[in-house]
Homo-oligomer: A and B are copies of this chain.
Amino acid sequence: MRDFPDPIKRLIEELGRLPGVGPKTAERYAFALLKRRGEDRERLADAILDIGGSLSTCSVCGNYTEENPCPICSDSRRDRTFVCVVATEQDLLAIERTGEFSGLYHVLGGVLSPADGITPNELNVRELLARVSRETPTELVMAFDHTIEGESTMMYLTRLLRPSGIRVTRLARGLPTGSEVGYADEVTLSDALRGRREVIREHESSTA
């Protein structure tokens, strides 16, 4: 025997298709699953199969949902004039969790990355433009990663939206919580300098 029994091999192979999972990690997961009770394995298998069933994407914002439109889009208390454009559903949830945003979202489905074959056609760009001309929000905030792909996606959308006259903003850049000036990289520090705010005004607005 120079290899695991077939069922284990097959499981390792399938687990190895998860993002960032190499053969050794897949092996580790497989053996952990082997040592579990049958019910525990069934619960995982069921959970994997279930997402194929009741989930679809919201026809308005593109987020995963069990109802259409999704609970956010159909929430009448939310500010319908303010739309946050995010790359992924995970980014949407990260913003939701801050509790700071009461507008709606638009999930682009990724960022532009010509090297990986991701052009505007692969993303919900057309849907965004149609939505903007249909719903006429007053502000779009671009909430993309502070990376080359995130930046270019933001610039691309901003240019595309310019004719609409809509206000396009982006997330602030600067020092993250808990970071130390002496250890911050130059780009972050430059961003923080350029984006500096008056201390008094800031305090007044946060206590207002």
Measured CB to CB, the residues of A under 8 A from B are: 1-8, 10-11, 13-15, 17-21, 25, 27-34, 38, 40-55, 64-66, 70-72, 75, 88-90, 93, 96-97, 99
Contacts and interface: CB of A to CB of B under 8 A. Distances in A.
A15 B2 CA distance: 29
Across the A-B interface, the 8 shortest Cβ-Cβ residue pairs: A45-B45, A11-B47, A14-B44, A14-B47, A45-B48, A19-B32, A7-B50, A1-B71
B54 A49 contact: no
Report how many copies the assembly holds. 2
A133 B4 CA distance: 28
Contact of A4 (B6, B47, B75, B93): B93
Contact of A48 (B11, B13, B51): B11
A7 B96 contact: no
11 contacts: A1-B75, A5-B54, A5-B64, A8-B64, A11-B47, A14-B47, A27-B90, A31-B89, A33-B51, A34-B64, A41-B49
A129 B33 CA distance: 29
A10 B47 contact: yes
B44 A48 contact: yes
B55 A45 contact: no
Contact of A72 (B1, B55, B93): B1
Given A45-B49, A55-B34, A17 B40 contact: yes
Contacts of A52: 38, 41-42
A64 B40 CA distance: 19
Contacts of A19: 28-29, 32
Contacts of A28: 19-20, 90
